[in-house]
Amino acid sequence: MNTPADLSHSKLVSRPLGARLWSWRYVVLRRLSQFGILLLFFGTAHWAWEWPAKTPLLTGNLSASELFGRIPMADPFAVLQIFLSGHVLQQKVILGAAIVLGFYLLVGGRVFCAWACPVNMVTDLAGWLRARLPIPAMFVVSRNIRYFVLAASLVLSALTGLAAFEWVSPVGMMHREIIFGLGAGAMALTAIFLFDLLILKNGWCGHLCPLGGFWSLVGRTALVRVRFDKTTCTHCGECARVCPEPQVLNLKRLEETGFVTSGECSNCGRCSPLCPEGSLAFDLRPLIRKHGAEGSISSVRRTK
């Protein structure tokens, strides 16, 4: 009862209300980001939001868009599928895909999943509920399935001549139908919600979604990463309990590397505010070694 891990755990349990609320800060920010993106799209589509004057603020949706009438953006995975379906695309969408790809190469591929993708709100809700309900695991499947689904969507795009995932994507259905009018996409989302809640924990985002698989591959070299401080960690395991991709918090590996290397980490920010010892914190990859050597400058903050 008095191992360091137990002490860490009791630290977490006895946190005052303020600290408890403060540990939700990244969740709040992520929701603001997710809703904000949808709101900008919606406002431009329905209330003719303009900036600068006479220019649509953010037109389109998450598949392809244009910001300030100048900056094109496009989903590189969708563009890749269309390319494989045998179509020469216009410069604008290719440039847009490059811009988006460049952005996520820096901040972490799956930052899209945790900070932009609207389906994440549905699966987070399912995950939050599941953690509070006595629902046993129905079966175990490899989280690498997403890479097979990713490969399948590329192969099928080439075979059918149609962007295979874009035609069935619940992600596409959700943002399209929120921005451009409702349809039966809600049924697909209900299915995902129930699947995540009752059948497979973190089933869609953490196992199946090929878009998540794509961004996982992109995120391997990301600059923004979660730094790990092995000197303060007590192996209490609280981080892995809240992490939707707990395999990325393999502490043995983290002790060697000093930070979360896996591209499957979505930088969602669940672990770092919760860590009772402050051993996990966002950092920039080039600075991580230096900060590690300085002996965890920030490891004492927020430990109450």
User: Would you tell me which residues interact with other proteins (CB under 8 A)?
Assistant: 44-45, 56, 59-61, 63-66, 72, 74-75, 78-79, 82, 85-90, 92-93, 96, 148, 152, 155-156, 159-164, 166-168, 172-173, 176-177, 179-185, 187-188
Under 8 Å between Cβ of 209 and 94: no
Distance CA 83, CA 63 (A): 14
CB of 261 vs other proteins, minimal distance in Å: 26
CA dist 15 to 8, 20, 281, Å?
11, 6, 19
Distance of CA 201 to the CA centre of its chain: 16
CB of 209 vs other proteins, minimal distance in Å: 14
CB of 176 vs other proteins, minimal distance in Å: 6
Under 8 Å between Cβ of 219 and 110: yes
Task: Select 97 or 239, whichever has its Cβ closest to other proteins.
Answer: 97
CB of 216 vs other proteins, minimal distance in Å: 20
Joined together, the tokens standing for residue 299 give 């490891």
Task: Select 183 or 237, whichever has its Cβ closest to other proteins.
Answer: 183
CB of 145 vs other proteins, minimal distance in Å: 10
Length of the chain as a residue count: 304
If one counts every other C-beta atom within 10 angstroms of the C-beta of residue 145, the result is: 16
Compute and round to an integer the Cα radius of gyration of the chain: 20
Q: Taking Cα atoms as reference points, which of 163, 175, 173, 167 lies closest to residue 58?
A: 175
CB of 51 vs other proteins, minimal distance in Å: 14
CB of 255 vs other proteins, minimal distance in Å: 27
64 - beta bridge partners? 74
DSSP 279: -
Task: Select 175 or 302, whichever has its Cβ closest to other proteins.
Answer: 175
What is the C-alpha end-to-end distance of the chain, expressed in Å? 19
Task: Select 78 or 197, whichever has its Cβ closest to other proteins.
Answer: 78
Cβ neighbours for 176, distance < 8 A, ≥ 6 positions apart: 61, 63, 185
Task: Select 188 or 233, whichever has its Cβ closest to other proteins.
Answer: 188
If one counts every other C-beta atom within 10 angstroms of the C-beta of residue 299, the result is: 20
